[in-house]
Amino acid sequence: MRLFIAICLNDALRGSLVEMQKQAESLGAGGKLTPRENMHLTLAFIGEYGRPGDVLDVMRSVTVDPFEIEICGAGHFGEILWAGVKCPDSLKKYVAALRKKLGDSGIPFDAKLFNPHITLARKIVKMPEGLMPQSTKMTVKKISLMRSDRNRFGQMEYREIGSVTCL
């Protein structure tokens, strides 16, 4: 099973991100757009791991109060266009504690530095200049364990298989 821990986005935030995608297209970015339903904020990418119950146990052991995230800016990693996410320090501390617990529990994860962003497009041909997001905020009340699978058309589909509530 290919797993990751993420924040699922509400409709308002996804709508703002779709508008950013439209701006990027009009500015000649090209590339393959992330489907609206796949937009999320990854907190920890686990990858192939067959024991999702163990991951949920770790998620339950690390708590965080509800918090707010906000879209702020855009950038790219090579051919990946992303929207930046302004996060409170409490989320950054939560991610650090969550990743430490995953490691202590022997659950593998990608240890890259947490850089809060939401992927808008892959394989862009150029970074669009002047891409401006609407200032959209969302209160986060739960953290989700997600599974990703390829559908019969070769596209990724993400499905929540468990979650924990922010206390």
For tokens 């994860």, what's the residue? 109
* pLDDT score of 132: 82
Identify the CATH number of the domain in which residue 152 sits.
Answer: 3.90.1140.10
* pLDDT score of 103: 97
Strands in 40-48's sheet, in edge-to-edge order, are 40-48, 2-8, 142-150, 156-165
Domain membership of residue 147 as a residue range? 2-165
* pLDDT score of 129: 86
**CA-based radius of gyration for the chain:** 16
User: Which whole number is the average pLDDT over 103-125?
Assistant: 96
How far apart are alpha carbons 43 and 49 in whole angstroms?
16
DSSP per-residue codes, 123-134: S-SSPPTT----
How far apart are alpha carbons 129 and 24 in whole angstroms?
9
* pLDDT score of 34: 96
Handedness of CA 57, 145, 118, 49 (dihedral sign): positive
Residue 50 has pLDDT above 90, yes or no: yes
DSSP conformational letter for 30: -
User: What residue type is 22 in one-letter code?
Assistant: K
User: Which whole number is the average pLDDT over 92-96?
Assistant: 96
Query: Is 43 in contact with 8 (CB distance < 8 Å)?
Result: no
How far apart are alpha carbons 33 and 158 in whole angstroms?
15
**Of the candidates 43, 37, 52, 40, which has an alpha carbon nearest to the alpha carbon of residue 83?**
40
* pLDDT score of 111: 93
User: Which whole number is the average pLDDT over 150-157?
Assistant: 87
* pLDDT score of 153: 86
Task: For residue 157, name the pLDDT band (cuts at 50, 70, 90).
Answer: very high
What is the distance in angstroms between the CA of the first residue and the CA of the last residue of the chain?
Answer: 28
Q: What domain count does the chain have?
A: 1
Helix orientation angle between 89-104 and 52-61, rounded to the nearest 10 degrees: 130
> What is the chain's mean pLDDT, rounded?
95
User: Which whole number is the average pLDDT over 103-107?
Assistant: 97
